[in-house]
Amino acid sequence: MTRAALTSAQAAAQWLAHDDLDQSPQREQFAAWLDESQDNRDAWNQVHRVWAIFDDAEDSDLIAALARAARRAGPEPVAKPWQPALIAASIAVVAVSATLFVGVRQGWFERATKPVQVAAAPSLTAVGRPDYVTGKGQKSVVDLPDGTRVTLDADSALDVAFTGGRRDLRLLNGHAFFDVAHDRTRPFTVQADGRVVTALGTQFDVRLTPGAVRVVLAEGSVSVVSADGQAIRLAPGQAFAARTGATGAVSSTNVDDALAWRQGVVEFRDQPLSEAVALLNRYTRARIVIRDPKVAALRITGVFKTGDIKRFGRSVSQVLPVRMIARDVDTYELVSTGR
């Protein structure tokens, strides 16, 4: 059976089993397969995302059992890698992965996190220093006085001011998801990088990166006031993205992918490697550096687990001409392989 006879999910499972994707001819064959269709790229992202969950198997008997079953089903090295036995094994891996994927979407493996409050309660009525912050590798769920729940990502800071019939917040740094309590009498606004996002009762996501902001609407409706004062209304499944001071643009997005960070994974879609590294560095004490501008400019697409930069280095070396070198105990550098 040829690759053409496989579904995208089956082929993605086969590629996942390879440990030589950084070598010819597998590297070129894999790149060509990714370029064939968006279905192939989506299948690879999903299988890659779910497999990363197996790293946490020791914390859950359920995940451990699924991981063992998937690995037993994984293809063994054979002389003819596309024979039917390998295809059957790949299908088994996808089946187990699909079960895990549903579990992730339903929140089976979410761990409770405690809010990190760094200011006294009275500060929640005035603009000032951040009221909630998280450090590297630390997420926090914050229940605000009005019933709104905020999920604060790693290395983030939020200032809250509830006063005068208003609910005003400032995302000073990082990334947050807002599940807003409905109250028509008190508008709910989030300021970020000069933009103001206004909602009544809705769910939306705001991410600040150096020189840019992105808003993703999961449910309900929000308006985003752009740099020129124009109000842009988003519908569920839409994202607004802009560089600092620029007008910005609205696009469609996959909400599940955009919110995957709450499950411990992040997605990149044709983004510079430098941006991907900057985001991943927020989740660990160790960090990745890139000194070669050509390496920094390489584009990366995929879904990766947060908090494990070594895994990211291995994964990215399979699809880009780079390798990761340990410079000291907490510093790793991505360098060109010259291929």
Please give the tally of structural domains in the chain.
3
Residue 239: per-residue pLDDT: 95
Share of the chain above pLDDT 90, in %: 29
d(CA 80, CA 54): 28
Same domain, 133 and 226: yes
Residues 137 and 247 in one domain: yes
pLDDT for 129 beyond 90: no
Tokens of 294: 């050509």
Among 42-46, 92-96, 214-218, the range scoring the smallest mean pLDDT is: 92-96
The single-letter code of the amino acid at 287 is R
> Based on the domain organization, do 147 and 234 belong to the same domain?
yes
Please tell me which of 123-132, 135-144, 169-178, 243-252 the model is most confident about, judged by mean pLDDT.
169-178
Q: How far is residue 289 from each of residues 106, 116, 128, 276, measured CA to CA in Å?
A: 35, 29, 33, 11
Within-domain flag for 295: yes
Instruction: Quote the domain boundaries for residue 76.
Output: 3-105
Q: What are 49-90's pLDDT values in tens digits?
A: 665 555 544 444 444 444 444 444 444 343 344 444 343 334
Q: What is the pLDDT of residue 118?
A: 55
Within-domain flag for 12: yes
- Tell me: do 284 and 208 sit in the same domain: no
Confidence of residue 190 (pLDDT cuts 50, 70, 90): very high
Q: Is residue 50 part of a domain?
A: yes
CA dist 3 and 9 (Å) reads: 11
pTM above 0.75, yes or no: no
Rounded mean pLDDT, 238-250: 89
Contacts of 315-318 spanning 24+ positions with Cβ under 8 A: 315/48, 316/273, 317/22, 318/21, 318/22, 318/27, 318/30
Average pLDDT value over all residues in the chain: 77
116 found inside a domain: no
The answer on pLDDT for 106 being more than 60 is: no
281-288: average pLDDT: 86
